[in-house]
Amino acid sequence: MDALQAIDLAKAALFLVLTIAGPMLVTSFIVGVSISLFQALTQINEMTLTFVPKLVSMGLVLLLCLPMIGQALAGFMARISSLIITG
């Protein structure tokens, strides 16, 4: 493996991490901002109010994205396996 292939593999690995974690991070951000806006408008300063909606929304997004995550991981593993086989 030369340096160009190693850089390409590292770039693909970073894209894979963004593909897997991106939807959950965006969901957490959107829910967090909306809960913060709700707290600011109603002046309810409850610290535990943000945890349950974030947890539920991230769980739902994880369940919805599981096929995409599995497909992305399988494709990356196939790519790494082919690189290992070809040497």
CB proximity list for 73: less than 8 A, separation 6 or greater = 16, 20
Got the DSSP string for 39-64? HHHHT---GGGTHHHHHHHHHHHHHH
Residue 12 near residue 76, CB atoms below 8 Å: yes
pLDDT on residue 14: 96
- Cα 75 to Cα 68: distance, rounded to the nearest angstrom: 11
CB proximity list for 79: less than 8 A, separation 6 or greater = 9, 12
Report the 10 Å Cβ neighbour count for 41. Answer: 8
Does pTM surpass 0.85?
no
Per-residue pLDDT tens digits for 9-55: 999 999 999 999 999 999 999 999 999 999 889 888 887 888 899 99
Residue 50 near residue 56, CB atoms below 8 Å: no
